[in-house]
Amino acid sequence: RTAVLAGRHAQATKLVKGLTPRQREVLTHMALGKLNKQIAYDLGLSEQTVKMHRAALLERLGAATTADAIRIAVQADLAGPPKA
């Protein structure tokens, strides 16, 4: 089980490293449950720009849904519950 989790972490980390810094920022905010409008405000972007980054990062990650992208972010330790 640990080996499987380590493999998923490594694969997710590799995928996330393929994103631009801005796409990683947007993905982190997505994983925190923020809406496009909130992400745009936090990053000083237009909502349309956030939507563009969101679509591009989904494609780069090979994610069909936002939930898939967030799962990858959590597996890569980009976002998720705090470590104890």
pLDDT digits (tens, 9 = 90+) for 27-81: 999 999 999 999 999 999 999 999 999 999 999 999 999 999 999 999 999 875 5
What is the rounded distance in angstroms from the CA atom of residue 37 to the CA atom of residue 57? 17
CB atoms within 10 A of CB 79: 16
What is the rounded distance in angstroms from the CA atom of residue 46 to the CA atom of residue 67? 23
Domains and their CATH numbers in the chain: 2-75 (1.10.10.10)
Q: What is the pTM of this model?
A: 0.85
